[in-house]
Structures are given as C-alpha cells and as structure tokens.
Amino acid sequence: MRFALLAAAILSTAACTQTQATQPATPSQTAAQPTAPTQPTTPPSSWVRLPGTVTAVSATQLTVRAANGTSTTVGFSPGWQLVVGHPISASDIHVGDFVATANANVDDHSGRSVELRVFPPGIHLGEGSRPMADGNTMTNGTVGEVTDVSGGRQMVVRFPGGQRNITLPSTIAVVGQRLADHSELAVGWNVFVLANPGENGSPPAAFYVYAPPAH
C-alpha cells in the first residue's frame, strides 16, 4: 500500500506494493544533511518508475529488483537525491510544509486523508489535486492553514490553480521525509526510484530515490 500511495503522491498514478526488507536508519542516526534537490526538467509522464529492493549499489548506479523478479540497473543523475521516510506526529505539520495526501472525497473541494506525507524542503513534486483510480483524490501542495479540531487536524492545501480542504483524522499515520546522505543507501533497502528516461538507447538515470519507513 505504501508504494502505491507514494506513486500517486508523486505522479498521480497507481504503483506497486512491496514487502519489507532491511530499512534505513532513523533521522537521529544521520549527521549529514544534503542540500535541497534540483527539480527534474522532464515531464512526469516520461519518468521511469522503479519500485523494488536494492540488490547492488555503487557511487554511480544502483540495481533494483521488482516483485516479479525483474532487475533494472540505473545510473544516478547529477544532483540526485536520497529521501528517507520516518513516522512523525500530526502536530509536526506546519504552514508552509509541502504535503501529499490520498484523501476520500467529502465534496468537490474537501477530503478526509487516508495517508499523508510531508516532503523535505525544496521538493515539490506533482503539485495539484487529481482523481485516483480507487475513487479517492491525490492532493499535493503547500499547507496554507492548519488547525486542531476534534479528532484530528484541519488544513488547507494550496497548489497552482486551487486549494483543497483536508481533514486529517488522529488515527491516520503521518510520514515525514528527510534528505539523506548518498552513502546511506544499501543493499536490501526497499525503495521507489524515479528516473529520467534514457536518450538514444541509453539507460535511465535516477534523480529521486525514496525509502519508506519500517512499520
């Protein structure tokens, strides 16, 4: 489920579910914090999506094995980013945070969150609010307002061309994300990779590698 929602959060399309493997360290175990990423210039429709388990990694490339056993090796784009998920409290969400939430439709302008992620500063992928295949809505945008309400939090998520009112029940897990040092990426991690398509037969190059939290 986490990989499916992540793909929708970034691309507003469905993705795949992966099983758990060895997971990355928590934020307190990491000293170095990289700078914010350079956003890709290729359109989202052409991005290569690779959910799976890391089976090999070097300074220049990684290999990911999908659930069906297929392995794909991709290089790293200049300035590529490693992003690691970790659980956070709903109270850690603030005005100005960029979030992605799958939400059940309440009406045309409101939804009840079923999953929410807070992206690291500088990463604004998939801005907008779009229908999902399951009848829910995926909303990616910047928190413009947030208040505590009975049973959770209420927020206004803004994006180019509009906004959506999101209710976040206290029962919904919230995932924070941090930019991690490239040296942390290791064999055995479950990841979701976004890559720029290769040109003239060259392999794709990863610009965004996400590792979900272990639950």
Count of domains for the chain: 2
Q: In sequence order, what E strands does 29-70 have? A: 48-57, 61-65
pLDDT tens column, 54-92: 999 999 999 999 999 999 999 999 999 999 999 999 999
Is residue 15 one of the residues assigned to a domain?
no
Residues 92 and 73 in one domain: no
In a domain, 112, yes or no: yes
Please choose, from the candidates 168, 52, 181, the residue with its C-alpha nearest in 3D space to the C-alpha of residue 118.
168
Tokens 């890559």 locate to: 195
Range of the domain at 146: 87-175
In a domain, 38, yes or no: yes
Please check whether residues 108 and 50 belong to one and the same domain. Answer: no
Residue 80 contacts by C-beta under 8 Å, 6 or more apart in sequence?
37, 182, 205, 206, 207, 208, 209
Asked if 116 and 139 sit in the same domain, the reply is yes
Closest Cα to residue 153, out of 107, 88, 99, 90? Answer: 90
For residues 57 and 162, state if they share a domain.
no
User: Does residue 4 form part of some domain?
Assistant: no
Domain shared by 202 and 168, yes or no: no
- The answer to whether residue 147 is domain-embedded is yes
Residue 203 domain flag = yes
Q: Is the pLDDT of residue 155 over 90?
A: yes
91 shares its domain with 171: yes
96: left (phi over 0), alpha (psi -120 to 50) or beta: left
CATH number of domain containing 77 = 2.40.50
Same domain, 55 and 114: no
Do 70 and 119 have their domain in common? Answer: no
The pLDDT confidence band at residue 163, using thresholds 50, 70 and 90, is: very high
Inside any domain, residue 156? yes
Amino acid at 207: F
**166-214 pLDDT per residue, tens:** 999 999 989 999 999 999 999 999 999 999 887 777 788 999 899 988 6
In-domain check, residue 152: yes
Residue 78: what residue type? Answer: P
Question: Looking at the structure, do residues 64 and 138 belong to the same domain, yes or no?
Answer: no
Residues 118 and 171 in one domain: yes
Same domain, 182 and 171: no
